[in-house]
Structure 1
């Protein structure tokens, strides 16, 4: 007999939502290129900001930014170590502007002071330290013009007015070398640029099947070698080095299980020193003997997984992240000359003694023979089948990975098993795996999720009658598909910023995605053809809202530029039109996901009550979670334990 989820973990200390989903004490550590400074993210009046301290005196910290509303999502160092740079949007609209904080004066300025503009970094340089190439779509929201940005003066000089190109590749001299656009087949055409002139015919043509797994991967500093990640003529993307003068390519790395992922490059020459591949877990392979010696030494010192997150120009100092897997992630300062390792920070010290559970790597057979890599976390001491949450990643052209996962830990602590599966269409496992998801939304992609549930039940991990489906973006769509196309499989669903109508989704994509829209049409369904339009209709949960018979919780950001609020409004209205109850939570100051911690915590508080109501797990009392957030419960308050 299956014990209730709450009873299963009643002896296990409850990990507060605030600890898992609140701000880390520190995160995002970086070394200045000259090695004189340490920087990191930390809360300032409850909002994540950038801090700075001398390398020799890490305790002498000062805040360099003063964000008061939304956390700063990303920051980096100016190449000459004179300033910190960061991007920020407004209320989740993803119109990111670039800001600079001068180290000497502390003065903060916006380097791209335009409205409704999204900045892109097109190129940076080892030899030109005070300038960047940036893309700006302030002239036309669909196209990013290329500008040379002087980081000292803030001056912008136009390099190329763009009316047709989806992207560019530059070399270390900040010279544009490639212009890239989508071709009629849904792949990409790559045109060489010589002396500022774009060749009229493409030098490289990538078919649609290879479009997500093939592209340039940067030049060496002297411009003599161009690296490629390329799946043409093979399945998984391999790493190649091309001699620019002769065009000769040399294979550097390949793996039949997965695409080549990250590389470590020489900080001065830009030559590849090591490369990684991630099938179930990430494996690093070294070309450079010095890098190998350092990584081998670190492997002997650290438990669990680790990686290099920042390096100085002279490569003598590294910041190293370490994931012990059942303890919080920590960051170390590594002096390569001295072979010394010192703790810089622990991201969440409150998790040091928390009952975190191990994550297992699994391989799940799909009904057609495809192998689906995945990750399973079970509650403490789980010996019998338990209620399961199938956690579906977004994208769908993305992937789940191994390591500390706060959603897995949170849900396992509440008494649920958690399964994340890389369904077909996910990236990283070769082009055939990705392309197997083409035009299979709600079809074979959903079958993979059903096969994952059947596997978990057959393995004795899950209770067949107590399986929830939950996810964000594509994962939210998969949730709606689960409750409409297979209404008897899942006990409930949690849709976070998921599309309900693929027609309107494609009609309202951000304008800067338009240059690559053929990819969406080829992989989802082409609304410009009768057959494609019908496919989109057939795959849209909005047309099957009357089939929903299990409880549904929806979370949405009002400013989402990718999946508009109307996507959630539509399915809610359709359900209400059929007299079907639904719980709908709206955040007026969020976009594609919930980035303010107080909003994330509030939504998860609702999720806990919702799952406890349906699956019987335990829930931390609601407390002040909703009051501290901007959450608006538009309907269905009475369906969630602790709300009504």
Structure 2
């Protein structure tokens, strides 16, 4: 079964790069075999989103009994990709396509649309409502499925969507309704009925998994049309249509305060969500019976509880997770708790196990298991037979490559604060006197975790030690560690990054003349700003899709409703100019290599263009490589392979190392 599936998927994968990429760059740069995967209600088929030529993607439907696999939906247009695909019946799928368009008004604009398609590729129809000539606006979001109607035999779903008012000029049938509402949609006939009328200010709905909308969130706007900083969470008691106030959430930049609902347990009549207790995020359950009873379900001292584990077509809550040195999952459901123990024994070398999907009766589970030295593989577990069978690996190109182990370490910050980090050493290395790379993560509201990282593993394969620090401003370690986020608190965040480089030298891991920094997105910003703060520390700087000027970043959001939140995240004051590497390019002494896609909506390519221009004006060594029609992720195997080779060659040349073998 698995071999046949793998063979077909690889046949649809990108052809060998046209450039003379090294074998290592080609293997590590190849996109993941599985972008997303889901299990049919009867547990007999999977739908897999996999890569095709260039930046394209396709949905493949595979039989788990025969291994037969068929592409049913393909997207290969520039700046367009398939993001997820789920089953409404055993023969019908709903998939989401994401597209970026370059508009004359606000530049790059991203929007989504839902498409329904049969499992054999026939009867393809757009599920999102099409824009009419009478529409007075345009909905960027094509809708979200919030309830899969587990008891529905005809594939009906509940879909939350934006209603757009229409002009009534020349028409008596024009709709005046606008706002965010919920429809019941038949995914075969496309017949739809309104379940929740659209409301101005509504931004989210949550059902109980049984077709009943029980939670609604609303958010106002200011006089300029920007999002307000307060979200009201409303709820319904069982059998009642009246809305009651559950709580409010306050937004300030990157930080939200207040209970944030995620999922409803209809049997317990509670809603699960996250809230801060004692400076750390915890999992909380609030009663929906009107009593407002509140229960702390899971808290982890020193760590934020940040994930909810849900299974089945009703999204039943069975556990929650958090990350310390490694990610851990705590199961509330006794059956899943016992299953987790059994799986740890069945696949001991793959400790990172996630429940990906389940059949309608939960008798079959689709699982993912991976580790630091295994990119991961998908399994099907049959509860009745207790059989665990591999479906397909995530990165078959690396099957013959020895990968490097990842070790959690602690770095002392300048003020004595312990900075958690992950150290990856080349396989077989003694870990001494190596060329080394500090690789700060993106975000900044994010963190690195223990496991497989294709970029770090590539560099380890080429002989570099790689250190990934979770600097202050990273998430997962509580509000005190988060500080005021990595932009407003950039001196602390960048100080931690630079202290990580000094630690590598002090430990004897890195040679002081062969220490570089490589980052993507905020990590690219950190790489450049580190060269501003301590010009002599790193001998080479590589930044992919970096922020380079905080004021320019702020300006990119002035035409969007999220502007007040971005504005608050960046803040106002002298730290904005001081924290913008493009404004202080003259301080950077190390050669700089920049990569950026010109279709990047997260961080405009103009950020890299500005940085390159300022460095050239200051007579610094810089090279900018732009990729046409690629966005922030540079999701193209050929491009990634070329980029990896270019990075490796640049680092070797800059730091006086011999060419790669």
Total equivalences in the alignment: 595
Q: What CA deviation, in whole Å up to 9, does each residue of 1:122-144 have, x standing for no partner?
A: 6224446512323449779xx97
Offset at residue 398 of structure 1 (A) = 0.9
**For residues 109 and 610 of structure 1, do their structure 2 counterparts lie closer, same or farther at Cα, with a shift above 3 Å needed?**
farther
Offset at residue 385 of structure 1 (A) = 2.1
Q: Does 1:310 align with 2:336?
A: no
State the alpha-carbon separation in 1 of the partners of residues 650 and 593 from structure 2.
Answer: 8
Q: Does 1:178 align with 2:178?
A: no
Offset at residue 235 of structure 1 (A) = 1.8
State the alpha-carbon separation in 2 of the partners of residues 243 and 116 from structure 1.
Answer: 34
Offset at residue 25 of structure 1 (A) = 4.6
Q: Does 1:228 align with 2:268?
A: no
Offset at residue 301 of structure 1 (A) = 1.0
State the alpha-carbon separation in 2 of the partners of residues 572 and 212 from structure 1.
Answer: 39
Q: Is the 8 A contact 1:259 1:428 kept in 2?
A: yes
Q: Secondary structure at the match of 1:443?
A: helix
Aligned twin of 1:626: none
> What is the correspondence of 1:195-274 to structure 2 with a 5 Å cutoff?
203-206=247-250, 208=252, 211=256, 214-221=259-266, 224-231=269-276, 233-245=277-289, 246-265=291-310, 267=312, 271-274=316-319
Aligned twin of 2:58: 49
State the alpha-carbon separation in 2 of the partners of residues 505 and 139 from structure 1.
Answer: 32
Aligned twin of 1:596: 636
Q: Is the 8 A contact 1:277 1:283 kept in 2?
A: yes
Q: Secondary structure at the match of 1:75?
A: strand
Q: Does 1:325 align with 2:399?
A: no
Q: Does 1:108 align with 2:124?
A: yes
Q: What CA deviation, in whole Å up to 9, does each residue of 1:503-541 have, x standing for no partner?
A: 1211113855x34x443333321xxxxxx1543223211
Q: Is the 8 A contact 1:605 1:620 kept in 2?
A: no
Q: Is the 8 A contact 2:445 2:485 kept in 1?
A: no
Aligned twin of 1:39: 47
Q: Does 1:424 align with 2:506?
A: no
State the alpha-carbon separation in 1 of the partners of residues 383 and 64 from structure 2.
Answer: 15
Q: Is the 8 A contact 2:139 2:162 kept in 1?
A: no
For structure 2, list consecutive stretches of 5 or more residues without a partner in the other structure. Answer: 1-21, 102-108, 132-137, 167-177
Q: Secondary structure at the match of 2:274?
A: strand
Aligned twin of 1:362: 409
Q: Secondary structure at the match of 2:73?
A: coil
Larger mean Cα displacement after TM superposition, 397-406 or 105-114: 105-114
Offset at residue 315 of structure 1 (A) = 1.2
Q: Is the 8 A contact 1:441 1:524 kept in 2?
A: no
Q: Secondary structure at the match of 1:237?
A: strand
Aligned twin of 1:190: 232
> What is the correspondence of 1:14-413 to structure 2 with a 5 Å cutoff?
16-25=24-33, 28-44=36-52, 47-57=56-66, 59-69=67-77, 72-90=81-99, 94-103=110-119, 106-112=122-128, 113=130, 117-119=140-142, 121=144, 123-127=146-150, 130-136=156-162, 145-148=180-183, 150=185, 151-154=187-190, 159=196, 161=198, 164=201, 167-172=204-209, 173=211, 175=213, 177-181=215-219, 188-192=230-234, 203-206=247-250, 208=252, 211=256, 214-221=259-266, 224-231=269-276, 233-245=277-289, 246-265=291-310, 267=312, 271-302=316-347, 303-305=349-351, 306-383=353-430, 384-413=432-461
Offset at residue 69 of structure 1 (A) = 4.2
For structure 1, list consecutive stretches of 5 or more residues without a partner in the other structure. Answer: 1-13, 526-531, 622-644
Among residues 533, 556, 566, which one is paired with 1:520 in the alignment? 566
Offset at residue 370 of structure 1 (A) = 2.7
Q: What CA deviation, in whole Å up to 9, does each residue of 1:207-230 have, x standing for no partner?
A: 649517851121124682111211
Q: Does 1:552 align with 2:592?
A: yes
State the alpha-carbon separation in 2 of the partners of residues 137 and 603 from structure 1.
Answer: 43
> What is the correspondence of 1:453-532 to structure 2 with a 5 Å cutoff?
453-509=501-557, 514-515=561-562, 517-525=563-571, 532=572
Q: Which has the higher strand share?
A: 2
Q: Is the 8 A contact 1:265 1:271 kept in 2?
A: yes
Aligned twin of 1:624: none
Q: What CA deviation, in whole Å up to 9, does each residue of 1:266-318 have, x standing for no partner?
A: 63765532222211111122222211221111110111322222211211111
Larger mean Cα displacement after TM superposition, 73-82 or 560-569: 73-82
Q: What CA deviation, in whole Å up to 9, does each residue of 1:573-608 have, x standing for no partner?
A: 222222323101111211223012222222222212
Q: Is the 8 A contact 1:542 1:574 kept in 2?
A: yes
State the alpha-carbon separation in 1 of the partners of residues 165 and 641 from structure 2.
Answer: 38
**For residues 554 and 44 of structure 1, do their structure 2 counterparts lie closer, same or farther at Cα, with a shift above 3 Å needed?**
closer
State the alpha-carbon separation in 2 of the partners of residues 476 and 336 from structure 1.
Answer: 46
State the alpha-carbon separation in 1 of the partners of residues 402 and 628 from structure 2.
Answer: 35
State the alpha-carbon separation in 2 of the partners of residues 27 and 572 from structure 1.
Answer: 33
**For residues 476 and 210 of structure 1, do their structure 2 counterparts lie closer, same or farther at Cα, with a shift above 3 Å needed?**
closer
Offset at residue 373 of structure 1 (A) = 1.9
Offset at residue 481 of structure 1 (A) = 0.7
Q: Is the 8 A contact 1:439 1:524 kept in 2?
A: yes
**For residues 38 and 96 of structure 1, do their structure 2 counterparts lie closer, same or farther at Cα, with a shift above 3 Å needed?**
same
Q: Is the 8 A contact 1:170 1:178 kept in 2?
A: no
State the alpha-carbon separation in 2 of the partners of residues 492 and 161 from structure 1.
Answer: 54
Q: Is the 8 A contact 1:438 1:522 kept in 2?
A: no
Q: Secondary structure at the match of 2:644?
A: helix
Aligned twin of 2:173: none
Q: Is the 8 A contact 2:303 2:477 kept in 1?
A: yes
Q: Is the 8 A contact 1:220 1:270 kept in 2?
A: no
TM-score (norm 2): 0.82
Q: What CA deviation, in whole Å up to 9, does each residue of 1:450-497 have, x standing for no partner?
A: 121122222222222322111111111112212223222211111111
Larger mean Cα displacement after TM superposition, 331-340 or 598-607: 598-607
Offset at residue 417 of structure 1 (A) = 0.8
RMSD: 3.2
Q: Secondary structure at the match of 2:467?
A: strand
State the alpha-carbon separation in 1 of the partners of residues 315 and 34 from structure 2.
Answer: 30
Q: Is the 8 A contact 1:132 1:174 kept in 2?
A: no
State the alpha-carbon separation in 2 of the partners of residues 180 and 494 from structure 1.
Answer: 42
Q: What CA deviation, in whole Å up to 9, does each residue of 1:79-137 have, x standing for no partner?
A: 43442222223368532222222226623233234578234526224446512323449
Offset at residue 167 of structure 1 (A) = 4.5
